[in-house]
Structure 1
């Protein structure tokens, strides 16, 4: 068995990497010039040509006397693995020289995502690295848009022995950076169409131990003494208690329409596309209701049909942010039908559909949810300056027709009782939530 094991090379035994050095053009020109001068000197019998070739030969021999034995090591550090849109990104590329011979020159080139604006990331860097030392190249910058972005991959090429030898390019894989969407301050009224849990911050229609006064009624066995209304009891000569409505938590389903994209994204400080508005609005709404103790779930209406189960608390909020990083818009050419109906929604859940309403399938889905008796609210995420894809001499006319067709869709949805509101940040859903809660208190047919 020992004979079957290949012998260990001395370089590997000492912990060195296999040599990856190749001659450069400078070494080729040196060898060529030296050889030509020597041949001509011997052929013509001229000693001066031989003496002229001697410095080139001696210089190359001296430079190659100590050749590096190992390749450089390259690594990428992205600092914090998650930031918020507009936040600072502290990335760096580190070049390590594990050899005992200094590198004359190290040229490093890295590639980064277009949504990470890093300083001087589009140009090569030239550094020198001492033996058994490392050199870091700092790449500070800002994150311009939400999502998962990469710093890298990076490549380094090293010159040694006076530029006569060069290492083959050393590559390193990219390092990911998670950029969370920027959430605008959002607030909504307390009105909710239904409350399903046992505890929470929303007023329900059921009597119980809560903070909302429902009325005064005669005392009954089992009532607590602290609930006695003494003013009414003294006036009527009978014990009366103040009855309250129970506080319940609500379930909110955020349904993201990802059938297509419209508008151009300009990053956190520029114009917002449909996907930008959808993701940022979803993060703001989820943060608001999760802070109030409600249960929030998310789902996609598109080819992927991803879903996030309902939960509450800060852990759910972090899970929501991670889930939103993978939201991608479809091209509209994916095969198959997208089905999302009442069977996917809890009867007591408030469904907030974030949609640009440019695809007829989204309008049909909304009408089906409302007709099934689900509490549904449509949030329009189409930017004001959005236009259909493609540019031609008919673009202006096509945009007008596209807008007119979309207005017809909005009108038909309102006729079916689908409340539609344009996303405008904090307070944009108040009036519609009040209407939905008022309709929920009325008797519903089955």
Structure 2
């Protein structure tokens, strides 16, 4: 049961004092009319004494299903707690004063009736989890003689999934390990890509007989020719997100410790790019896994299907800045996987892992997640620090390109990078490069 408490206002205290003064003066002077003057004040004090405030929350924030926010705007509903349209708390008539504050803005006060609803528009993140509103409430009786204690509530936290976006090209490895799928492998078996024409052998299926090749090659019509094909296989993709930093677009925000503003940064670019890559491969039945460089959570195992895409989007939405700690071992991609690392490339660790997996023969690519920067440094020291950081980052990226490891830009139109989508262009080039290597390895002159 709800615990009840009584909180008196200054009006109640004044009514008690006046009633006591009237009673005392009437008794001393022996005048009943003076004692009768205390009756209204006594009733007022008694009403304030019997008006109890509940410790239950009399106001709450829920999502407004009747309207949707546009862009980064979220529409919330300030109303008494309800379950299936029925109030969960019997709120007595009165007034409720609510103090609300959003990140980076001063608090505001709102006074409503206890049974009244009010829509609230707040700014939300483009993706990820964030506290968008903090609030607390205090209730008053209808005559303002009694007030409840101020009750702060937990902040309103929202989780915004990154959009899927258009599909990308799908480069695959030359060493596919799956037993079924939509990609041609180098393993003989059931598939659609022609490997060779050979005489019929025991165990060959009749439907593989090529009658035209038989008429052309078997002059005596004493043997049948069959088509040998490469087996189809599914590709495996391993996504690695570097959540060690979240660089805002404005460089002056780099030097603000604990900034509470909802400013999109490099982690938002990583979420959008990783979601787009995962959706592109999962749409054709490939398997996608997800891991991060923080070493604090278990990797999301490789799987396929629409449900797995929602799991990846949910895991990416929960990604926040976590200082990188020393791992017991490096992430282990599946055999023959395509590895994509999403990072701001501010330190050598992502580049080291890309070189390691590239040396193992895997198809690797880096995605640069730094948004289009606005140089808004305030002091000369800040400007020099930004220049040195960007110079070091450029040297790391140039070294990767010299080692034959492509680094693509993860920017999209949401961050203000323009209409050019270099992520799509880069994956298309990777797909052509992978097909060219497969053709060179399976041609007649290959060794």
TM range (shorter): 0.7 to 0.9
Is residue 246 from structure 1 mapped to residue 234 from structure 2 by the alignment?
no
Q: TM-score if structure 2 supplies the norm length?
A: 0.76
Structure 1 residues 340 and 327: CA distance shift in structure 2, 3 A: farther
CA offset digits 1:243-282 (Å, max 9, x no partner): 322210011100112232323489xxx9852111111111
SS at match of 1:262: coil
CA offset digits 1:158-216 (Å, max 9, x no partner): 22262222222345445643311123213114544331111111111122222223343
| Match for residue 44 of structure 2 among 60, 74, 79 | 60
Is residue 385 from structure 1 mapped to residue 366 from structure 2 by the alignment?
no
The structural deviation recorded for 1:437 is 5.5
CA offset digits 1:374-416 (Å, max 9, x no partner): 322112222231779x752143444334333322222222232
Equivalent residue number for residue 244 of structure 2: 259
Equivalent residue number for residue 96 of structure 2: 106
| Match for residue 290 of structure 2 among 298, 313, 329 | 298
Moved more, 278-287 or 226-235: 226-235
The structural deviation recorded for 1:367 is 1.9
Is residue 281 from structure 1 mapped to residue 270 from structure 2 by the alignment?
no
More strand by share: 1
Distance in structure 1 (CA, Å) of the matches to 2:56 and 2:378: 49
Is residue 419 from structure 1 mapped to residue 411 from structure 2 by the alignment?
no
Equivalent residue number for residue 430 of structure 2: 432
Is residue 207 from structure 1 mapped to residue 205 from structure 2 by the alignment?
no
CA offset digits 1:339-395 (Å, max 9, x no partner): 654x7123311111112222122222222222233322112222231779x752143
Distance in structure 1 (CA, Å) of the matches to 2:54 and 2:392: 67
| Match for residue 362 of structure 1 among 328, 350, 355 | 350
SS at match of 2:380: coil
| Match for residue 144 of structure 1 among 125, 131, 134 | 125
Is residue 310 from structure 1 mapped to residue 299 from structure 2 by the alignment?
no
Structure 1 residues 413 and 64: CA distance shift in structure 2, 3 A: closer
Equivalent residue number for residue 228 of structure 1: 209
Structure 1 residues 174 and 414: CA distance shift in structure 2, 3 A: closer
Distance in structure 2 (CA, Å) of the matches to 1:172 and 1:260: 30
Distance in structure 2 (CA, Å) of the matches to 1:76 and 1:161: 20
CA offset digits 1:124-158 (Å, max 9, x no partner): 332334xxxx5444435564322234576643322
Equivalent residue number for residue 8 of structure 1: none
Moved more, 236-245 or 376-385: 236-245
Q: Is the 8 A contact 1:186 1:425 kept in 2?
A: no
Is residue 20 from structure 1 mapped to residue 5 from structure 2 by the alignment?
yes
Q: Is the 8 A contact 1:84 1:179 kept in 2?
A: no
Paired residues, number: 409
Structure 1 unaligned residues grouped into runs of 5+: 1-14
Equivalent residue number for residue 9 of structure 1: none
SS at match of 1:214: strand
Structure 2 unaligned residues grouped into runs of 5+: 82-86, 254-261, 411-421, 442-447
Structure 1 residues 186 and 104: CA distance shift in structure 2, 3 A: same
Structure 1 residues 346 and 80: CA distance shift in structure 2, 3 A: farther
Q: Is the 8 A contact 1:148 1:178 kept in 2?
A: yes
Q: Is the 8 A contact 2:8 2:49 kept in 1?
A: no
SS at match of 2:430: helix
SS at match of 2:308: helix
Structure 1 residues 329 and 442: CA distance shift in structure 2, 3 A: farther
Equivalent residue number for residue 11 of structure 1: none
Distance in structure 2 (CA, Å) of the matches to 1:143 and 1:164: 38
Structure 1 residues 84 and 307: CA distance shift in structure 2, 3 A: farther
Q: Map 1:8-47 onto structure 2 (within 5 A).
A: 17-33=2-18
Distance in structure 2 (CA, Å) of the matches to 1:53 and 1:286: 79
The structural deviation recorded for 1:98 is 5.6
Distance in structure 2 (CA, Å) of the matches to 1:198 and 1:80: 47
Distance in structure 2 (CA, Å) of the matches to 1:128 and 1:138: 14
Structure 1 residues 407 and 142: CA distance shift in structure 2, 3 A: closer
Distance in structure 1 (CA, Å) of the matches to 2:334 and 2:298: 17
Equivalent residue number for residue 389 of structure 2: 402
Distance in structure 2 (CA, Å) of the matches to 1:391 and 1:352: 36
Distance in structure 2 (CA, Å) of the matches to 1:421 and 1:296: 19
Q: TM-score if structure 1 supplies the norm length?
A: 0.76
